[in-house]
Amino acid sequence: MSAKISACSVISVLKFLPEVWVFSQVPGVSNIYINETNCRYEAAEVCTDDDDAKVGISELRKNIVNELKMHDAVLEEWGIDLVKECTINPATAKYTDFLLATASGKVEGVKAAKLATPFEKTKLAAYTLGAMTPCMRLYAYIGNELQVFLEGEKNHPYEKWIDSYASEGFQASALQTEDLLDKLSVTLTGEELDIIEKLYHQAMKLEIQFFLAQPLVQKAIIPLSKDHNPAEQRLTIFSDFDLTCTIVDSSAILAEIAIITAPKSDQNQPENQISRMSLANLKNAWGDLSKQYMEEYEQCIEKILLTEKAEKFDYGRLCRTVEQLSDFEKRANSRVVESGVLKGLNLEDIKRAGQQLILQDGCTDFFQSIIRNENLNADIHVLSYCWCGDLIRSSFSSGGIDGLDIHANELIFQESLSTGEIVKKVESPIDKVQAFSKILMNCRNDKKNLTVYIGDSVGDLLCLLEADVGIVLGSSSSLRRVGNHFGVSFVPLFPGVVQKQKMYAVSDSSSWTGLSGVLYTASSWAEIHAFVLGS
């Protein structure tokens, strides 16, 4: 079993918990359960029957002693008396009690056994390591992530703490702990491995609760919803659909439906139904359209990049240049309509395909969390080039999301069969930014809008820049190339928020404003969820 992999999904939400910004209490209260961790390592060392594992655990115990010395040095520098000034909060006690119970063999769902055989002792050592490994992995992760705070800073109050957990030695210790857990788990049954997995996740939850229990000593700018005043502010979320919310492009889905349901060349078609291409002709037509689209798209991007590069952010020239891309997209859509490839698609087939459409991990959870929060005063708008809004609506509806405003093109149907015509509403980057502006104009003026736009392509670029917070999901090279050409800066979301937090500490202003020329990059919807809503 690989404990190191299962940590990733749990700790990703920690990136933007405001409690991570400040550690004024952590070195003190950490000592309490680090002492406890040392004792549990000792118990694991006694239990294991493997000589190599004993040596490994012994080394980890030495590292724990050094860690305690580092914490004591920090406390001494701050003039804090741990005994007099720090009390154990319930979250810390809950974690240490959990470690004690696990190391003593009191594991939920497991009968207490006498440690009579080497196997029983090794199993208990594995359970104990399973409960302790998250501590090492989480601190190694946080140490690495918080190093950005030290950039350009002299005498940062938490420098010693951060450097210690970001050090190669501590990173190696975290890896060594995981390797030991894997080693001790080799002889265990599937049921016993499931127990270790439960212990691991329980420990990670208790670790996160420990951080959440520490009091904040400064205001934080995130999550965005934390200081959001619903009575005075409206949070407006905009998102692209294809490849931002989805795994595949919707045009590929519609092409698949068309090809699967296309009549064969020798098949007679009902006289009262819309005439359709044969299967062979349809495949050829789709192939030609796709090839022409990709070739002309690349040519259009290269033509944009041949213009003079901006020395600084130049939104006006970017808008004028992107009009070339808008014209291209409209011509491509006209070719699709003229080809007839969309003729005869059944509306029910499209809805079923939408219901089966796979969305990006975390996308559904994010939208559901916003919709279910009645006190947030938030709206969600999806702006998409998709040819069929029904496909989008059914994909979200199947995930229990019905509160989204969908702005997309629509197929025209006669008795549930597509005529092949498109009601063209959102075809281009210009159409998208016009729809974006119109939505905001139609909002009531009694509240201030805070806008967030999430997208992945050049077609989203203008909206991303217009929004107060523009978040680029994924790694589109054409988006970055065009953006960089016109002076747009791309900043990873976490370091970007850190810089905002530093500015806020100086100016007491955390305003997010559009047209700054800065876009934030994220690798997952989990990051976006944590940034906007917290854990």
Residues designated as active site: 135, 207
Q: Where are the alpha helices (DSSP H) in 442-518?
A: 461-466, 477-485, 493-507
Token pair for residue 290? 């796709």
Q: Are 426 and 462 in contact (CB under 8 A)?
A: no
Give the alpha-carbon dihedral of 261, 262, 264, 268, to 10 degrees.
Answer: 90
Is 474 strand, coil or helix?
coil
CA–CA distance, 222 with 19 (Å, rounded to integer): 10
Token pair for residue 411? 């197929």
Amino acid at the residue 53: A
The continuous run of DSSP H or E covering 269 comes out as none
What are residue 491's DSSP bridge partners? 520
What are residue 442's DSSP bridge partners? none
Q: Which of 301, 291, 294 is nearest to 478 (CA)?
A: 301
Token pair for residue 83? 């005994």
Which residues, including other chains, have CB under 8 Å from residue 478's CB and lie 6 or more apart?
301, 457, 458
Q: Are 386 and 250 in contact (CB under 8 A)?
A: yes
CA–CA distance, 219 with 260 (Å, rounded to integer): 56
